[in-house]
Amino acid sequence: MVEPFRVDITVRGYELDTQGHLNQAVYLQYCEHARWECLRAAGITQESLLASGVGPAALENTIRFHRELRGGDEVTVSCAWQWGGGKTFRLRQEITRVDGALAAELTGVAGLLDLAERRLVPDPAARLRALATDPDLLDL
């Protein structure tokens, strides 16, 4: 198992709700951003996915909130991939403040959708491994 990929983000004022906290939907956007950045760092772009006829499909996301975030807070968003033997894989992500406090954690289930057939591909790990220039970032 490799160290989770990480990306730093600063909470922006326009992402706050009326109480001055980071809006709940933005936590999911931060996690999505970290996943795409991880794929990009591994050598997989949106264009290369489309050219190969597949695209990521989120099937389930659960976010557990631990600490509030406010404008200007600096956070690190991690992304760890967990592979099984089927059509789906799991993701584990944490949003951590600079002081080390866990702000939120996301667990998710996803797959790769065959864009022509509109069905999940049988072995998403193999498809991503074939596209990646650095598959270790995806724990492949």
Query: Is-above-0.75 flag for pTM?
Result: yes
Measure the CA–CA gap between 126 and 136, rounded to whole angstroms: 13
Euclidean distance between the first and final Cα of the chain, in Å? 9
- Annotated active-site residue 17? The verdict is yes
List, for residues 44-64, the tens digit of each pLDDT value: 999 999 999 999 999 999 999
Question: Residue for token digits 């799991």?
Answer: 90
- Choosing from 17, 73, 99, 136, which is the catalytic residue? 17
Q: How far apart are CA 64 and CA 102, in angstroms?
A: 10
Query: Average pLDDT over the chain, rounded to whole?
Result: 97
Domain total in the chain: 1
pLDDT value of position 129: 97
Residue ranges making up the domain that contains 46: 5-138
DSSP assigned state of 2 = P
pLDDT of residue 85: 86
Q: Which long-range contacts (CB under 8 A, 24 or more apart) does 24-28 make?
A: 24/63, 24/65, 27/63, 27/65, 27/95, 27/103, 27/104, 27/106, 28/61, 28/63, 28/106
Q: At residue 105, does pLDDT exceed 90?
A: yes
Residue 90: its pLDDT value, please? 98
Q: What percent of the chain has pLDDT over 70?
A: 99
Q: What is the mean pLDDT of residues 118-129?
A: 98
pLDDT at 1 over 70: no
Task: List the CATH number of the domain containing 128.
Answer: 3.10.129.10
